[in-house]
Amino acid sequence: RGIPSLDTREHWLPGHIIPSLTEKLRQSQSMFAATGGVHGCGLFDAKGELLLSCEDVGRHNALDKLTGQMARVPERYQRGRVILLSGRISFELVQKVLVAGISVLVAAGAPSNLAINMAKRFNLTLIGFTHGGGFNIYHGAFRLNLTKQ
């Protein structure tokens, strides 16, 4: 209940930008730079531009801060948006992204099996292990344009 319909357009997200998102988020993380001990999350557009970022000791709290900022101006963040998480993906994080109406979730870490199942159920594009220039697609590859750029 309460999960909006996701954007089902095909090939709107260039796959070549996915590996660069982690570094772009890292550059915006002043608390991480100072402490090395906080999680971050960011909202990106389809060109890989960072629109919002938040940090917190807890990865769930960082995402709550981000979605709270998004809720202030929802019409700005509805289509063609990607959320990047600095850690692993739990089903609770998938649930929060779905409620926010975002159709693509990317993370530096791995998703849990329950997170993958939830992504499949609601047709969320789920991408993990964005390290070393590569990434794994767990569901929803139809949103990515994977041609060479």
**Tens-digit pLDDT profile for residues 90-144:** 999 999 999 999 999 999 999 999 999 999 999 999 999 998 889 999 999 999 9
pLDDT for the residue numbered 133 = 86
- With a pLDDT cut of 70, the percent of the chain lying above it is 93
The residues near 71 (Cβ < 8 Å, ≥ 6 apart) are: 100
- Give residue 135's pLDDT: 97
Q: For residue 20, what pLDDT is reported? A: 92
In the chain, the amino acid numbered 144 is L
What is the structure's pLDDT at 36? 67
pLDDT band at 75 (very low <50, low <70, confident <90, very high): confident
User: What are 70's two structure tokens?
Assistant: 């998004």
pLDDT, residue 34, reads 67
Buried b (16+ CB within 10 A) or exposed e, 93-121: bbebbbebbbbbbbbbbebbeebbebbee
Average pLDDT over residues 25-46: 80
Beta partners for residue 50, in sequence order: 44
Q: Which residue has the higher pLDDT, 10 or 26?
A: 10
pTM for the whole thing? 0.93
Give the pLDDT score at 37. 75
Indicate if the pLDDT at residue 33 is higher than 60: no
Query: Per-residue pLDDT averaged across 52-57, rounded?
Result: 91
